[in-house]
Copies of this chain bind each other. A is one copy, B any other.
Protein backbone atom coordinates (compact mmCIF):
# COMPACT_ATOMS: atom_id res chain seq x y z
CA UNK A 1 0.00 0.00 0.00
CA UNK A 2 1.57 3.28 -1.15
CA UNK A 3 1.42 6.19 1.28
CA UNK A 4 2.57 9.76 1.85
CA UNK A 5 3.00 11.15 5.36
CA UNK A 6 2.27 14.82 5.99
CA UNK A 7 1.24 17.28 8.66
CA UNK A 8 -0.25 20.74 9.22
CA UNK A 9 1.13 22.33 12.41
CA UNK A 10 1.86 18.79 13.67
CA UNK A 11 -1.64 17.51 13.08
CA UNK A 12 -0.42 14.53 11.05
CA UNK A 13 -1.90 12.25 8.43
CA UNK A 14 -1.22 9.17 6.35
CA UNK A 15 -2.32 9.99 2.80
CA UNK A 16 -3.39 7.02 0.68
CA UNK A 17 -3.54 7.66 -3.08
CA UNK A 18 -6.47 5.56 -4.30
CA UNK A 19 -8.04 7.37 -7.28
CA UNK A 20 -10.16 4.37 -8.29
CA UNK A 21 -11.29 3.48 -4.77
CA UNK A 22 -9.90 -0.05 -4.85
CA UNK A 23 -8.24 -0.19 -1.41
CA UNK A 24 -9.93 -2.32 1.26
CA UNK A 25 -9.75 0.32 3.95
CA UNK A 26 -11.23 -1.36 7.03
CA UNK A 27 -11.22 0.30 10.46
CA UNK A 28 -8.57 -2.25 11.49
CA UNK A 29 -6.33 -1.23 8.58
CA UNK A 30 -6.73 2.45 9.43
CA UNK A 31 -5.89 1.76 13.08
CA UNK A 32 -2.83 -0.28 12.06
CA UNK A 33 -1.60 2.53 9.78
CA UNK A 34 -2.13 5.15 12.50
CA UNK A 35 -0.49 3.15 15.32
CA UNK A 36 2.47 5.32 16.30
CA UNK A 37 4.74 2.41 17.23
CA UNK A 38 3.58 -0.68 15.36
CA UNK A 39 2.48 1.25 12.24
CA UNK A 40 3.33 4.51 10.48
CA UNK A 41 1.60 6.73 13.00
CA UNK A 42 -0.85 9.59 12.44
CA UNK A 43 -3.89 11.41 13.78
CA UNK A 44 -5.88 10.16 10.81
CA UNK A 45 -5.95 8.82 7.26
CA UNK A 46 -6.75 10.84 4.14
CA UNK A 47 -7.75 8.56 1.29
CA UNK A 48 -7.55 10.32 -2.08
CA UNK A 49 -10.40 9.12 -4.30
CA UNK A 50 -11.95 10.58 -7.43
CA UNK A 51 -15.29 12.12 -6.46
CA UNK A 52 -17.13 10.34 -9.26
CA UNK A 53 -15.79 7.00 -7.98
CA UNK A 54 -16.72 7.79 -4.37
CA UNK A 55 -20.23 8.82 -5.38
CA UNK A 56 -20.73 5.70 -7.51
CA UNK A 57 -19.54 3.53 -4.63
CA UNK A 58 -21.85 5.30 -2.22
CA UNK A 59 -24.78 4.89 -4.61
CA UNK A 60 -23.93 1.17 -4.75
CA UNK A 61 -24.18 1.01 -0.94
CA UNK A 62 -20.48 0.59 -0.11
CA UNK A 63 -20.23 1.45 3.59
CA UNK A 64 -16.79 3.05 3.35
CA UNK A 65 -18.24 5.77 1.14
CA UNK A 66 -21.35 6.50 3.19
CA UNK A 67 -22.10 10.20 3.06
CA UNK A 68 -19.96 10.82 -0.01
CA UNK A 69 -22.78 11.35 -2.51
CA UNK A 70 -23.80 14.95 -2.81
CA UNK A 71 -23.58 15.42 -6.56
CA UNK A 72 -20.20 17.14 -6.27
CA UNK A 73 -18.42 15.21 -9.01
CA UNK A 74 -18.83 17.97 -11.59
CA UNK A 75 -17.37 20.61 -9.27
CA UNK A 76 -14.71 18.74 -7.31
CA UNK A 77 -12.46 16.16 -8.95
CA UNK A 78 -11.22 14.76 -5.61
CA UNK A 79 -13.02 13.40 -2.57
CA UNK A 80 -11.30 13.38 0.84
CA UNK A 81 -12.19 10.13 2.60
CA UNK A 82 -11.10 11.10 6.10
CA UNK A 83 -10.79 8.56 8.92
CA UNK A 84 -9.91 9.07 12.55
CA UNK A 85 -6.97 7.14 13.98
CA UNK A 86 -9.36 4.60 15.52
CA UNK A 87 -10.76 3.79 12.06
CA UNK A 88 -14.04 5.64 12.44
CA UNK A 89 -15.31 7.83 9.60
CA UNK A 90 -15.12 11.59 10.09
CA UNK A 91 -16.72 14.37 8.09
CA UNK A 92 -14.05 17.04 7.85
CA UNK A 93 -10.72 18.17 9.24
CA UNK A 94 -9.41 21.70 8.65
CA UNK A 95 -5.74 20.75 8.79
CA UNK A 96 -6.41 17.50 6.96
CA UNK A 97 -7.99 19.16 3.93
CA UNK A 98 -5.02 21.54 3.71
CA UNK A 99 -2.56 18.62 3.69
CA UNK A 100 -4.83 16.80 1.22
CA UNK A 101 -4.67 19.77 -1.17
CA UNK A 102 -0.88 20.05 -0.86
CA UNK A 103 -0.59 16.36 -1.73
CA UNK A 104 -2.75 16.80 -4.86
CA UNK A 105 -0.57 19.63 -6.15
CA UNK A 106 2.66 17.87 -5.18
CA UNK A 107 1.58 14.71 -6.99
CA UNK A 108 0.52 16.63 -10.10
CA UNK A 109 -3.14 15.65 -9.59
CA UNK A 110 -4.27 19.28 -9.31
CA UNK A 111 -2.85 22.64 -10.35
CA UNK A 112 -2.00 25.42 -7.90
CA UNK A 113 -4.89 27.86 -7.55
CA UNK A 114 -8.31 27.81 -5.93
CA UNK A 115 -10.66 24.83 -6.22
CA UNK A 116 -13.10 22.80 -4.16
CA UNK A 117 -12.43 19.47 -2.42
CA UNK A 118 -15.39 17.16 -1.83
CA UNK A 119 -15.78 16.02 1.80
CA UNK A 120 -18.54 14.35 3.79
CA UNK A 121 -19.31 17.83 5.18
CA UNK A 122 -19.72 19.27 1.67
CA UNK A 123 -17.38 21.19 -0.63
CA UNK A 124 -14.38 22.99 0.88
CA UNK A 125 -12.54 25.53 -1.26
CA UNK A 126 -8.78 25.50 -0.91
CA UNK A 127 -6.22 28.05 -2.14
CA UNK A 128 -2.55 27.24 -2.62
CA UNK A 129 0.51 27.95 -4.69
CA UNK A 130 3.11 25.53 -6.04
CA UNK A 131 4.71 25.60 -2.58
CA UNK A 132 4.00 27.24 0.80
CA UNK A 133 0.90 27.68 2.91
CA UNK A 134 -2.50 26.25 2.10
CA UNK A 135 -5.71 28.12 2.89
CA UNK A 136 -9.18 26.61 3.23
CA UNK A 137 -12.59 28.24 3.43
CA UNK A 138 -13.98 26.86 6.70
CA UNK A 139 -17.45 28.37 6.32
CA UNK A 140 -19.17 30.71 8.75
CA UNK A 141 -18.86 30.38 12.52
CA UNK A 142 -21.91 30.49 14.75
CA UNK A 143 -21.59 32.12 18.17
CA UNK A 144 -24.23 30.50 20.37
CA UNK A 145 -23.74 32.26 23.69
CA UNK A 146 -21.62 31.76 26.77
CA UNK A 147 -20.77 28.57 28.59
CA UNK A 148 -18.30 27.06 30.98
CA UNK A 149 -16.22 23.97 31.59
CA UNK A 150 -14.07 22.74 34.44
CA UNK A 151 -10.45 21.71 33.90
CA UNK A 152 -8.02 20.57 36.60
CA UNK A 153 -10.27 21.98 39.33
CA UNK A 154 -10.80 25.39 37.72
CA UNK A 155 -13.87 26.73 35.99
CA UNK A 156 -13.34 28.50 32.66
CA UNK A 157 -15.96 30.75 31.12
CA UNK A 158 -16.05 31.28 27.39
CA UNK A 159 -18.03 31.51 24.17
CA UNK A 160 -19.90 28.57 22.73
CA UNK A 161 -19.11 28.55 19.02
CA UNK A 162 -20.17 26.05 16.38
CA UNK A 163 -17.91 25.36 13.42
CA UNK A 164 -20.08 22.40 12.47
CA UNK A 165 -18.56 20.84 15.57
CA UNK A 166 -18.97 22.35 19.07
CA UNK A 167 -16.37 24.60 20.72
CA UNK A 168 -15.96 26.52 23.94
CA UNK A 169 -13.31 29.23 23.51
CA UNK A 170 -12.16 30.70 26.84
CA UNK A 171 -10.05 33.81 27.33
CA UNK A 172 -7.51 33.34 30.13
CA UNK A 173 -4.98 35.60 31.81
CA UNK A 174 -1.94 33.36 32.22
CA UNK A 175 0.43 31.93 29.59
CA UNK A 176 -1.17 28.82 28.05
CA UNK A 177 2.06 26.89 28.64
CA UNK A 178 1.29 26.79 32.35
CA UNK A 179 -2.03 24.92 31.95
CA UNK A 180 -2.65 21.31 32.94
CA UNK A 181 -4.55 19.68 30.06
CA UNK A 182 -3.82 16.08 30.95
CA UNK A 183 -7.40 15.31 31.96
CA UNK A 184 -10.70 15.75 30.17
CA UNK A 185 -12.82 18.79 30.99
CA UNK A 186 -16.17 18.37 32.71
CA UNK A 187 -19.18 20.40 31.61
CA UNK A 188 -22.97 20.52 31.70
CA UNK A 189 -24.15 17.78 29.32
CA UNK A 190 -27.47 19.56 28.89
CA UNK A 191 -25.59 22.50 27.35
CA UNK A 192 -23.04 20.47 25.38
CA UNK A 193 -25.14 17.53 24.27
CA UNK A 194 -22.55 16.31 21.75
CA UNK A 195 -19.57 17.06 23.98
CA UNK A 196 -17.29 20.01 23.29
CA UNK A 197 -13.77 20.95 22.22
CA UNK A 198 -12.33 23.35 24.78
CA UNK A 199 -9.89 26.08 23.71
CA UNK A 200 -8.01 28.24 26.22
CA UNK A 201 -6.43 31.32 24.70
CA UNK A 202 -4.56 34.49 25.61
CA UNK A 203 -3.74 37.54 23.47
CA UNK A 204 0.02 37.88 23.02
CA UNK A 205 0.19 40.66 20.41
CA UNK A 206 -1.76 42.65 17.87
CA UNK A 207 -4.35 40.26 16.41
CA UNK A 208 -2.25 37.43 17.77
CA UNK A 209 -3.34 34.87 20.37
CA UNK A 210 -1.77 31.72 21.77
CA UNK A 211 -4.07 28.75 22.26
CA UNK A 212 -4.18 25.21 23.60
CA UNK A 213 -7.01 22.81 22.95
CA UNK A 214 -8.53 19.72 24.51
CA UNK A 215 -10.26 17.86 21.69
CA UNK A 216 -13.37 15.84 22.31
CA UNK A 217 -12.39 12.18 22.12
CA UNK A 218 -8.67 12.82 21.50
CA UNK A 219 -7.28 14.74 24.47
CA UNK A 220 -4.87 17.62 24.04
CA UNK A 221 -3.64 17.90 20.46
CA UNK A 222 -0.83 19.91 18.86
CA UNK A 223 -3.29 21.74 16.63
CA UNK A 224 -6.99 21.87 15.80
CA UNK A 225 -8.20 23.74 12.72
CA UNK A 226 -11.79 24.39 13.78
CA UNK A 227 -10.53 25.23 17.28
CA UNK A 228 -8.17 27.86 15.90
CA UNK A 229 -11.03 29.44 13.95
CA UNK A 230 -13.35 29.39 16.98
CA UNK A 231 -10.60 30.99 19.05
CA UNK A 232 -9.99 33.76 16.52
CA UNK A 233 -13.74 34.42 16.33
CA UNK A 234 -13.94 34.67 20.13
CA UNK A 235 -10.92 36.98 20.25
CA UNK A 236 -12.13 39.16 17.36
CA UNK A 237 -15.67 39.82 18.52
CA UNK A 238 -17.29 41.77 15.69
CA UNK A 239 -13.98 42.64 14.02
CA UNK A 240 -13.07 41.31 10.58
CA UNK A 241 -9.58 40.55 9.25
CA UNK A 242 -6.70 38.17 9.86
CA UNK A 243 -5.65 36.72 13.24
CA UNK A 244 -2.55 34.74 14.03
CA UNK A 245 -3.17 31.75 16.31
CA UNK A 246 -0.10 30.13 17.89
CA UNK A 247 -0.79 26.51 18.76
CA UNK A 248 1.69 23.99 20.22
CA UNK A 249 2.43 22.70 16.69
CA UNK A 250 3.08 26.09 15.08
CA UNK A 251 1.20 29.09 13.72
CA UNK A 252 -2.00 29.24 11.71
CA UNK A 253 -3.79 32.30 10.41
CA UNK A 254 -7.54 32.83 10.53
CA UNK A 255 -9.26 35.38 8.31
CA UNK A 256 -12.77 36.40 9.30
CA UNK A 257 -15.04 37.89 6.64
CA UNK A 258 -18.70 38.91 6.87
CA UNK A 259 -19.76 35.58 5.35
CA UNK A 260 -17.10 33.03 6.21
CA UNK A 261 -13.81 32.12 7.89
CA UNK A 262 -10.55 30.97 6.32
CA UNK A 263 -7.78 28.91 7.85
CA UNK A 264 -4.26 29.24 6.43
CA UNK A 265 -1.05 27.55 7.48
CA UNK A 266 1.74 25.15 6.58
CA UNK A 267 0.99 21.76 5.02
CA UNK A 268 4.16 19.72 4.88
CA UNK A 269 4.75 16.40 3.11
CA UNK A 270 7.39 14.54 5.11
CA UNK A 271 7.89 11.11 3.59
CA UNK A 272 6.48 8.66 1.11
CA UNK A 273 6.75 4.95 0.77
CA UNK A 274 5.09 1.57 1.00
CA UNK A 275 3.24 0.09 3.97
CA UNK A 276 3.84 -3.65 4.18
Residues of chain A at the chain B interface (Cβ within 8 Å): 3, 5, 7, 10-12, 36-41, 43, 222, 249, 268-276
Listed by A's residue number, 27 A-B pairs whose Cβ atoms lie within 8 Å are A3-B271, A5-B40, A7-B37, A10-B37, A10-B38, A11-B37, A12-B36, A12-B38, A36-B36, A36-B41, A37-B222, A38-B268, A38-B270, A39-B270, A39-B271, A40-B40, A40-B41, A40-B270, A40-B271, A41-B41, A269-B276, A270-B275, A271-B274, A271-B275, A272-B273, A272-B276, A273-B274
* Chain B residues positioned under 8 Å from A36 (CB to CB): 12, 36, 41
* Chain B residues positioned under 8 Å from A11 (CB to CB): 37
CA distance A7 to B36 in the complex (A): 11
Cβ-closest chain B residue relative to A40: B271
Interface majority SS (helix, strand, loop, mixed), chain A: strand
CA distance A222 to B275 in the complex (A): 22
Given known contacts A269-B276, A271-B275, A275-B270, is B40 in contact with A12 (CB within 8 Å)?
Answer: no
CA distance A11 to B5 in the complex (A): 20
Q: Top 7 closest A-B pairs, CB basis?
A: A273-B273, A10-B37, A41-B41, A12-B37, A271-B275, A272-B273, A271-B273
* Chain B residues positioned under 8 Å from A40 (CB to CB): 5, 40-41, 270-271
Minimal beta-carbon separation of A57 from chain B (angstroms) = 27
CA distance A269 to B39 in the complex (A): 9
* Chain B residues positioned under 8 Å from A3 (CB to CB): 271, 273
Q: Contacts A38-B268, A271-B273 given; 6 further ones with Cβ under 8 A?
A: A3-B271, A5-B40, A7-B38, A271-B275, A272-B273, A273-B274
Cβ-closest chain B residue relative to A2: B273
Cβ-closest chain B residue relative to A39: B270
* Chain B residues positioned under 8 Å from A270 (CB to CB): 38-40, 275-276
* Chain B residues positioned under 8 Å from A271 (CB to CB): 3, 39-40, 273-276
* Chain B residues positioned under 8 Å from A43 (CB to CB): 37
Minimal beta-carbon separation of A225 from chain B (angstroms) = 15
Minimal beta-carbon separation of A194 from chain B (angstroms) = 27
Cβ-closest chain B residue relative to A37: B10
Minimal beta-carbon separation of A38 from chain B (angstroms) = 5
CA distance A272 to B271 in the complex (A): 10
* Chain B residues positioned under 8 Å from A268 (CB to CB): 38
CA distance A273 to B3 in the complex (A): 9
CA distance A190 to B10 in the complex (A): 41
* Chain B residues positioned under 8 Å from A38 (CB to CB): 7, 10, 12, 249, 268, 270
CA distance A275 to B10 in the complex (A): 16
